[in-house]
Structure 1
């Protein structure tokens, strides 16, 4: 009787599914988390680059901040599950003059699917100011 039960394969597919499905699901969820981290990191880098590029050709720092924030946040809005996005400009010690450098910093935060944790990515990009107004 025991041998008959052991050789009976009814229900074996259901047991295999129950054992394998959670592992496959975990693999899918963590793969999605890794993809969203990489994608949002790339978007943050692209936002920092775009913000720095548009800022470098502005005649003054006020316009540079405005256009950089506008261009950078529009790039960050394309991220996956974005909760918070921010773009900032920082000047080196020389002020807004032709030849000085500006640092564009883009920050994006989002929740991970697997744990629900808040994850934040910050990328920066340095550019040389090309079109500053000459002050007399």
Structure 2
């Protein structure tokens, strides 16, 4: 007699959709939030790379390291201003040796930001190596 009640309850399908929703919705929510965070990371990584490239591109035609650093930071910051949730942005022009035509330098972009869904802190650093094309002197 007791097993008959259990068997009838087990075969009953009322409320099954609600239970399925209750079990599946949190998993879908976590997946959605994970995708938002991953998109922000990929987008900001691309913005940091574009900023390093733009900073290097304008810096390589400057006549000296001071102007290269100034104009590189200006151009790179314009790109980093478009990042998602950016808190700290930095562009650095790092010459390898003296600022001479034919020498190389590194343009480095660093971006600290907060992930939109989880609220975690994240840092992206990208760099681009270029050759000095236009330097005064030598």
Normalising by structure 2, we get a TM-score of: 0.89
Aligned pairs (5 A) from 1:8-47: 8-47=12-51
SS at 1:38 equivalent: helix
Aligned length: 134
How far apart, in 2, do the equivalents of 1:85 and 1:92 lie? Answer: 23
Q: Which residue does the alignment assign to 1:127?
A: 130
Q: Is the 8 A contact 2:85 2:116 kept in 1?
A: no
Deviation per residue, 1:15-40 (Å, 9 max, x gap): 11110000001111111111111111
Unpaired segments ≥5 residues, structure 2: none
How far apart, in 1, do the equivalents of 2:24 and 2:113 lie? Answer: 29
Normalising by structure 1, we get a TM-score of: 0.90
| The structure with more radius of gyration | 2
Unpaired segments ≥5 residues, structure 1: none
Q: What's the RMSD between the two structures over aligned residues?
A: 1.5
How far apart, in 2, do the equivalents of 1:102 and 1:15 lie? Answer: 60
SS at 1:127 equivalent: strand
Q: Which residue does the alignment assign to 2:59?
A: 55
Aligned pairs (5 A) from 1:62-77: 62-77=66-81
CA displacement at 1:85 relative to structure 2 = 0.9
State yes or no: 1:109 paired with 2:112: yes
How far apart, in 1, do the equivalents of 2:31 and 2:10 lie? Answer: 32
State yes or no: 1:89 paired with 2:93: yes
SS at 2:100 equivalent: coil
How far apart, in 1, do the equivalents of 2:21 and 2:88 lie? Answer: 39
How far apart, in 2, do the equivalents of 1:16 and 1:124 lie? Answer: 48
